[in-house]
Structure 1
Amino acid sequence: MKLQEKMDTYKEQMQAQAPKEALDIMQSATKELGASRMLEDAIKIGDKAPGFSLENTSNTLVTMDSLLSQGPLVLAFFRGKW
């Protein structure tokens, strides 16, 4: 099964099981995101990432340049609340 088919199946199952209020909130948030033009400003495949510095899990500041000096760098984004 292709990824899009899996996503479509998941969406159908979620819509059948989730409370209407939750679905309404998700639909509203999706519309707001589309209207915000945030997607047009987002980094796209092939774009160069802007330099950054962030704290790691040990609260040590790490820069993109210091990581790149060690080899290729993969950026992964996770959605969630910690």
Structure 2
Amino acid sequence: MSLADKLAETRAASAGRIPPERAAIMHRATDDLRKSGILDRIVPVGKPAPAFELANHDGRRVSSVELLAGGPLVLSFFRGSW
């Protein structure tokens, strides 16, 4: 199954379990982000991300440069609670 297919499946499953009033809030927030111009400031697909250092779940500083030295790096971003 392709990533596009998996994402479509996830969206369909979410549409069935998220109450319409909450879905409307999420869609409104997404639209607001798009209108803010945030998409003009992201790293384009296929371009390297800038080096960074962040705290991990234990509060320890983690460097992207050090992690990349060990192989590919995958990042996950979570928006948090709505």
Q: Which TM-score tier does this pair reach, normalised by the shorter chain?
A: 0.5 to 0.7
Whole-Å separation in 2 of the counterparts to 1:49 and 1:74: 11
Whole-Å separation in 2 of the counterparts to 1:11 and 1:76: 22
Unmatched runs of 5 consecutive residues or more in structure 2? none
Whole-Å separation in 2 of the counterparts to 1:68 and 1:39: 25
Decide which structure has the larger Cα Rg and report it: 1
- Percent identity of paired positions between Structure 1 and Structure 2: 26
TM value normalised by structure 2: 0.66
Tell me the secondary structure at the aligned position of residue 33 of structure 1: helix
RMSD of the TM alignment (CA)? Answer: 2.7
Whole-Å separation in 1 of the counterparts to 2:56 and 2:41: 26
> Relative contact order (C-alpha < 8 Å, sep 6+): which is higher?
2
Equivalent in the alignment of 2:36: 36
- Equivalent pairs counted in the alignment come to 78
Q: 4+ residue stretches of structure 1 with deviation over 3 A?
A: none
Equivalent in the alignment of 2:13: 10
Whole-Å separation in 2 of the counterparts to 1:4 and 1:75: 17
Given that residues 54 and 62 in structure 2 are in contact (C-alpha distance below 8 angstroms), is that contact kept between their aligned partners in structure 1? yes
Equivalent in the alignment of 2:78: 79
Equivalent in the alignment of 2:68: 68
